[in-house]
A and B are shown apart, each in its own frame.
Chain A
Amino acid sequence: MTQRTSFLGALLLLTACGGQSDGLDQPVELTGQPVALDERLLLISGASRTGYLIDVVSSKPKAVATVVELPYGALRAERRREHDEALVICAGRRDSVEERAEPSTLAVIESDGDVRNYELGATPFDTLVQSDDGRFAVLYRDKEAGGRTLQNVNELVVVDLDRNPSDDDAVTSKTPEGLAHAFERALVSPELPIAGEMRRLLVLLSAAEITLFDLNHIEKRGTIVELGEGEGRMPKPTQVLFGEDAPVMYVRGDNANDVFVFRLEARTGDATLNDFRPTLNPLGAGQAPRDMALFGASDTPQVFVVGRSSEARSIDPRSGKTQVVTLPGPADHIRLFQGASPKDTQVKTRALVYGDDSTTLMFVDVDSVRERPDRSLESLQITQPVTSVIEIDRPNAVILTHAQGITLLDLEQRTATPIASNGQLEGALFDRKTERLWVATKADTWVGTLDLASGETGEVLLDSTVQNLVPFFDAGKLAIVHPSRIGYVTVLDTREPSRDRARSLRGFFVDGILDRGK
């Protein structure tokens, strides 16, 4: 009887054991945008906590992915500047009945699949900015996003990516003290010569305030500068430009008619404070300036401003002298270029100016505004409003993208060549090597090409719809990500774009799935 009971028990035990492996319960769902490293495509899935590195550059790519385990709550990835690495923001997770809380983390994925995780604490950061050299990453939380029961809205962390995660000073948490409003945006300056030392500043933009942290001396308290505005309005800084060779910042904001010029001068005193201090100089920029640009000598730059008041202004920051040009319509964007014009063969600084919903392109001879303001403006009508401007590798030519179609614009000749499209553009990329523009239309299985050298258009039919275009132009490849549960990418040869030269890789999300965990 005992033996029989034992046998039946063993049989029951045998049938009861098992269970689904980790990794099979959560689906792979692409999170954020794909990232192009030098030779590998990175796709991340926050739900399954996995990243996939796929080689798309080799002559015979395989549907094989290097699977990278990510921390909890991966939100988005972007390439680390000047490095063959990707940064992934992981927001962690809160406590639950089933599982413990996990901290938010910045994961650095190297091209070979190695991962460095910088733990950031309990705050679920969701926004990342980098310094131009990729050394510093600053993470903070979008004010609009939901957070914890109690949330320090001004908390941020500075990660020195040149240090190892285990180093004490790799991650520094900061909260600007004395801010009257939560900061809304952060940015990192290029290196500036401040108080005899080349250093980068962390600049926080909040309503009526600018906060400056010295990234070379992050242990010091931040410097808060209040932006004053007449008529009781509260400026909201949105745009910051930095002088090339001088420690000067130019700040433009919504709800303000001024451009604020900060000069950073050395100071001595409390060692806990920055060793510089800003002096503030507001410049009148007309009604509601929408964009600004610097031109002229790098040590004495001039400010060019356009706005919704249908005015363009050239401002000398030192003297405050301003020259105004009346535009045919409101303007929101400036694109400076050096070149001639149909009426002037001299190469000068000129500007393409356009409004968000306007079909009028305006050309302003910026250098001539002071001398001949009445003759420094030309305009050109196009068929559709401009969505974006794509820089191409041709002198004084750009490509304007529209909701449907593109326009090849010659900035010197002031001619526009429209290229129509049969669908809404999903993305447009310019390949400098082949001088070819690549576009994809939404939910379509075609990609179109425009050869700038010959003016010929072409198209390549794909076997599935386009989700993302990811350029690997240096390697002569364009990766097209298709919507798929198991991973599906088509790699086109940018030198000879055709179906015969293309190669699709499918199933790399499930590659080796039977061997995982062995």
Chain B
Amino acid sequence: MRLVAFSVSLFACIGLASAQSEPAPTAAPTAPAPAAYQPAVLNPPAAEPPPPSATTTAPAAQPAAPAAPNGHFPAYPRKDAPSSAEQADIVSGRAALLRDRRFTPQTVDTAEVEPPVRHGDPRARWTVALSLDSVFYTDVGYDLFDDDNVSTRLGVWAGYDIAELALRTTLAIELGFGAEAQEQGIWQGALRTQLESQTFSAGASLRYALFSWLDPQLRASTGITRIAFELESDDSNSFDDHALSGFGALSAGVLVHTPAQLLENRRGEFASLNIGLLIEGGYALRSSVNVDPTRKAADHAIPITEAELGELALSGPYVRSSVVVRF
């Protein structure tokens, strides 16, 4: 139940966050950022004094005049026009001034200027997850190991997007591992039974990006489970057995996750990072296993025939809840 509550909370948080962050661009990851980028570089700081020639070159203080041949200075008709030598000095002075202005970088107070925003690639190809499976065992033989018909399996799995089959449709492959353990006393504690399993799985999933925060998906997986049994009586007799069970599973679910670039920083990092909750429901078809517990006998022991407990069928529906990190 805590998991369910957590899931609901996470779902609400994700929805709220996505509503506040819209509209974040999800495409054109290499496009230059607009607006604030160029002014921050080219505009001088307001507190810096103007250059010496500012009064003579400020266009707002002068009447309109025809443009100079070089296009930089307007030509003014002057009564006290300088001589050629003076003009040469003026020209050379201006040239020096321009040279100074070109090659003398202005000092900018970086503490007061925001760094440029860069955007990374928002496509998350990798998925890692912690999963909690609620597996529903319908076989009455399972009652030997657990009062309830629902077992909890903890697991981890990882996936990689290998292809975009169509617009918003992604195919991924996955590997996973899960483990579960059940133990209980029967016959009023006269016998203690234990069932442990480790499951290795491989699968493929098809994910469709319905919204920026919601991906329905289908999954097909197969794998093998190593099942270990133990039966111990209160007269200190202990028996054990283990078996392998193959399985195939189909499931459908929805992945609720943070939109792409929600967690991106200004340097464009973590653009593809998103976290979410994947809820799936499915059915696992497993091969049944025979439980024939044995006890190691001494070399000179009387030949012994042990009982066979029977067949344990572990096929059944399951619900998987996964906390997913994609990047």
Contact = CB atoms under 8 A, between A and B. Distances in A.
A490 to B, nearest CB: 6
Contacts of A484: 233, 235, 237
A508 B304 CA distance: 12
A8 interface: yes
A486 B143 contact: no
Contacts of A48: 187
Interface in A5-45: 8, 11-12, 14-21, 24-28
A1 to B, nearest CB: 11
A15 B305 CA distance: 38
Interface size class of B (residues with CB under 8 A): 35 or more
Interface in A454-500: 462-463, 483-488, 490, 499
A27 B234 CA distance: 11
A489 B122 CA distance: 70
A61 interface: yes
B86 interface: no
A26 B190 CA distance: 9
A320 interface: no
A511 B148 contact: no
A466 to B, nearest CB: 13
Q: Most chain-B Cβ atoms within 10 A of its Cβ — which of A21, A26, A64, A485?
A: A485
A120 B9 CA distance: 64
A513 B237 contact: no
Interface string B272-309: 00000000000000000001010000001111111111
A218 B169 CA distance: 88
Contacts of A61: 305
B188 A517 contact: no
Q: Chain A's interface: helix, strand, loop or mixed, by majority? A: loop
A4 interface: yes
Given A485-B235, A515-B141, A502 B310 contact: no
A199 interface: no
Contacts of A507: 239, 293, 306-307, 309
Given A26-B188, A505-B305, A18 B140 contact: no
Contact of B187 (A14, A24, A499, A508): A24
Contact of A8 (B4, B136, B188, B303): B4
Interface in B116-162: 134, 136, 139-141, 143-144, 146-150
A507 B308 CA distance: 8
A499 B303 CA distance: 8
Contacts of A487: 307
B302 A502 contact: yes
A266 to B, nearest CB: 59
Contact of B134 (A15, A20, A514): A15
Q: Most chain-B Cβ atoms within 10 A of its Cβ — which of A463, A490, A502, A514?
A: A514
Contacts of A328: none
A131 to B, nearest CB: 38
Given A484-B233, A486-B237, A18 B150 contact: yes
Q: Most chain-B Cβ atoms within 10 A of its Cβ — which of A24, A26, A463, A488?
A: A24
Contacts of A64: 307-308
A335 B59 CA distance: 149
B311 interface: yes
B8 interface: yes
A62 interface: yes
B145 to A, nearest CB: 9
A436 to B, nearest CB: 19
A393 B106 CA distance: 128
A394 interface: no
A25 B237 contact: no
Interface string B306-324: 1111111000000100000
Contacts of B303: 502-504
A513 B144 CA distance: 8
A507 B293 CA distance: 9
A518 interface: yes
A485 B190 contact: yes
B148 A25 contact: no
A20 B186 contact: yes
16 contacts: A14-B136, A21-B143, A27-B188, A27-B191, A48-B187, A62-B305, A63-B306, A486-B231, A486-B237, A504-B302, A508-B307, A510-B307, A511-B307, A514-B291, A515-B310, A516-B140
Given A18-B147, A503-B302, 15 more contacts: A4-B8, A15-B148, A18-B149, A26-B188, A27-B187, A64-B308, A462-B302, A499-B300, A506-B304, A506-B306, A509-B307, A510-B309, A514-B139, A515-B311, A516-B310
Interface of B: 1, 4, 8, 134, 136, 139-141, 143-144, 146-150, 186-188, 190-191, 231, 233-235, 237, 239, 291, 293, 300-312, 319
